[in-house]
């Protein structure tokens, strides 16, 4: 099971029709499409889900393709992002994998407690044991109407919590790479604002962050040095719309967040759930 978790990543069945992919296919054909997903697989295998551009030549033999074409696929179609250290990566890959990574962490922690790790308190052990006992009791109870309602309620809460974690992790990954403030927890106030924004069909966090990257004002490029943060982005229904409409682009055309250079935050394969 561990091997499956460590090698898994979501893949949309209609990824071939994405507009960025279509552009890639027009230039490099189906071979380019195959190389793109091979690169996604390579990123998935890295501890930090990044790969240095300086080592692209090492992929020539593995992918049976020239360095020039591999570099073109990474930099010319908006399919990957590049940080200040010249590592290419995919925010989407990391964000979409978060639920699986979190489950893996929880499984490791449960095993650590189960086998009596000295650093784990007795209260934690008892709590885990009580949870297991409660789960067993729930499974033994017949599926009455009340139980089905309760299960549905828990499922809805679980989905909401997963969505909130994905929002937090997506923002923090972006903020870490572009010099913005990360967040530690989702407070009640933040939760209500996130849910309010997510109700809007045009609120796509990945698309918003991609649009923000080209607007240097949002990264402190002003006399005041103001930079956007998580709470500002989710504060109302106006701020993110301004980002999507490129209201914060500099008139002189000098843009780019946190000093990054080559076509950074680009479209990620949509809805990789």
Residue 40: what pLDDT?
83
Residue 114: what pLDDT?
56
Residue 4: what pLDDT?
41
Burial of 7 (0-12, 13-18, 19+ CB in 10 A): exposed
Residue 159: what pLDDT?
43
Q: Distance between CA atoms of 172 and 151, rounded to whole angstroms? A: 31
| Contact in structure between 110 and 128 (CB atoms under 8 Å) | yes
**Reduced to 3 states, what is the DSSP secondary structure of residue 56?**
helix
Each residue's pLDDT tens digit in the chain (273 positions)?
344 445 556 666 677 877 888 888 888 899 888 898 898 888 888 888 889 988 888 888 888 888 889 989 998 888 888 888 889 988 777 777 766 666 656 655 655 655 555 444 555 555 556 655 655 555 554 455 566 666 655 544 544 666 888 899 899 999 988 889 999 999 999 999 998 998 888 899 989 998 998 898 999 888 888 999 999 999 999 999 999 999 998 765 454 444 332 244 444 333 434
> Which residue in 77, 51, 84 sits closest to 267, CA to CA?
77
Q: Which residues contact 248 (CB under 8 A, 6 or more apart)?
A: 212, 215, 216, 217, 218, 242
Q: Two tokens at 199?
A: 């109700």
Q: Distance between CA atoms of 213 and 256, rounded to whole angstroms? A: 6
Residue 267: what pLDDT?
40
- Please give the C-alpha separations between residue 82 and each of 173, 175, 190, in angstroms, as whole numbers: 13, 14, 29
pTM (predicted TM-score): 0.47
SS3 for 81-103 is: EECCCCEEECHHHHHHHHHHHHH
Q: Distance between CA atoms of 204 and 206, rounded to whole angstroms? A: 6
Concatenated DSSP letters of 4-28 = HHHH-----TTGGGSHHHHHHHHHH
Q: Distance between CA atoms of 231 and 183, rounded to whole angstroms? A: 9
| Contact in structure between 165 and 191 (CB atoms under 8 Å) | no
Q: Is the dihedral of CA 127, 133, 139, 143 positive or negative?
A: negative
Q: Residue 12: count other Cβ atoms within 10 Å of its Cβ.
A: 14
> For residue 219, what is the DSSP state?
B
Q: What is the dihedral of CA 36, 41, 45, 47, to 10 degrees?
A: 50
Q: Is the dihedral of CA 116, 122, 126, 128 positive or negative?
A: negative
**Domain segments of the chain as ranges:** 2-89, 94-248
For 50, the enclosing helix (H) or strand (E) is strand 50-52
Q: Two tokens at 240?
A: 């993110």
Q: How far is CA 54 from the centre of its chain?
A: 24
Residue 125: what pLDDT?
56
């Amino acid at each position: 099971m561990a091997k499956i978790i460590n090698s898994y990543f979501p893949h949309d069945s209609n990824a071939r029709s994405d507009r960025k992919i279509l552009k890639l296919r027009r230039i490099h054909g189906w071979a380019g499409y195959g190389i793109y997903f091979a690169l996604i697989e390579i990123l998935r295998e890295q501890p930090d889900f990044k790969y240095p551009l300086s080592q692209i030549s090492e992929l020539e033999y593995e992918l049976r393709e020239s360095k020039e074409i591999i570099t073109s696929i990474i930099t010319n179609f908006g399919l990957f992002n590049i940080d200040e250290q010249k590592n290419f990566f995919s925010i989407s890959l990391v964000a979409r994998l978060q639920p699986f990574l979190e489950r893996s962490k929880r499984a490791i922690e449960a095993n650590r407690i189960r086998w009596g790790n000295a650093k784990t308190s007795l209260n934690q052990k008892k709590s885990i044991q009580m949870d297991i006992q409660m789960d067993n009791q729930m499974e033994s109870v017949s599926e009455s109407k009340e139980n089905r309602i309760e299960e549905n309620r828990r499922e809805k809460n679980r989905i909401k919590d997963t969505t909130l974690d994905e929002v937090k992790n997506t923002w923090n990954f972006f903020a870490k790479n572009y010099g913005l403030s990360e967040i530690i927890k989702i407070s009640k106030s933040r939760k209500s604002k996130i849910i309010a924004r997510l109700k809007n069909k045009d609120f796509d966090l990945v698309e918003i962050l991609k649009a923000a990257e080209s607007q240097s004002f949002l990264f402190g490029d002003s006399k005041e040095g103001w930079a956007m943060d998580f709470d500002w982005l989710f504060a109302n229904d106006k701020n993110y719309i301004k980002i999507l409409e490129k209201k914060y682009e500099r008139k002189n055309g000098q843009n780019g967040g946190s000093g990054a250079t080559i076509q950074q935050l680009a479209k990620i394969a949509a809805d990789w759930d």
